[in-house]
């Protein structure tokens, strides 16, 4: 388990559109400290830690596809279970969206997968997330733009 700050959490409710067209997923980036980074290196997933020079600093992305691959066909048509989310007391999450900077605990497993070169790769697979300290999501509606009323800008 690791603790860090959540960013871009798309794990509450229905899955969001994934990078690949036509696919959907639940995902969250978790900003980590140097000690956690070293733990992830020891677990063999240090290559999954990223840093894009923004507020997140070092972070790791956790994702779960909305559909699992069907073993018989190879198609992603088997519905996956959403990521389990609980509050700081272990109670089921109340469906509030999780804002950037929320402190979270992430339970994960290391999954191995075959690489094209015959070797084995490793990646962390999220099992559950605990919201330890919520920063409420402050996102707006894309239809909300500032206006000028009486010469003053309003939202």
pLDDT digits (tens, 9 = 90+) for 113-135: 888 898 888 999 999 999 999 99
Q: What is the pTM of this model?
A: 0.84
> Which two three-digit tokens encode residue 129?
């997330």
> Which two three-digit tokens encode residue 81?
């279970």
Domains and CATH numbers, the chain: 2-154 (2.40.50.140)
pLDDT classification of 21: cutoffs 50, 70, 90: confident
Tens digit of each residue's pLDDT (9 = 90 or more) over 51-110: 999 999 999 999 999 998 888 887 878 899 999 999 999 999 999 999 999 999 999 999
62/84 Cα distance (integer angstroms): 13
């Amino acid at each position: 388990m690791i603790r860090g700050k959540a960013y871009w959490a798309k794990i509450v409710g229905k899955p969001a559109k994934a990078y690949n067209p036509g696919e959907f997923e639940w995902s969250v980036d978790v900003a980590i400290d140097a000690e956690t980074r070293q733990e992830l290196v020891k677990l063999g997933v240090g290559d999954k830690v990223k840093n894009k020079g923004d507020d997140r600093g070092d972070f790791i992305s956790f994702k779960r596809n909305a559909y699992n691959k069907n073993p018989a066909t190879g198609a992603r048509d088997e519905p996956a279970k959403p990521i389990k989310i609980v509050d700081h007391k272990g109670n089921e999450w109340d469906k509030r969206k999780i804002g950037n900077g929320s402190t979270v605990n992430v339970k994960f497993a290391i999954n191995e997968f075959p690489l094209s070169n015959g070797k084995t790769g490793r990646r962390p697979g999220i099992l559950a997330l605990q919201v330890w300290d919520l920063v409420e999501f402050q996102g707006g509606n894309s239809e909300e733009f500032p206006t000028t009323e009486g010469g003053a800008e309003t939202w």
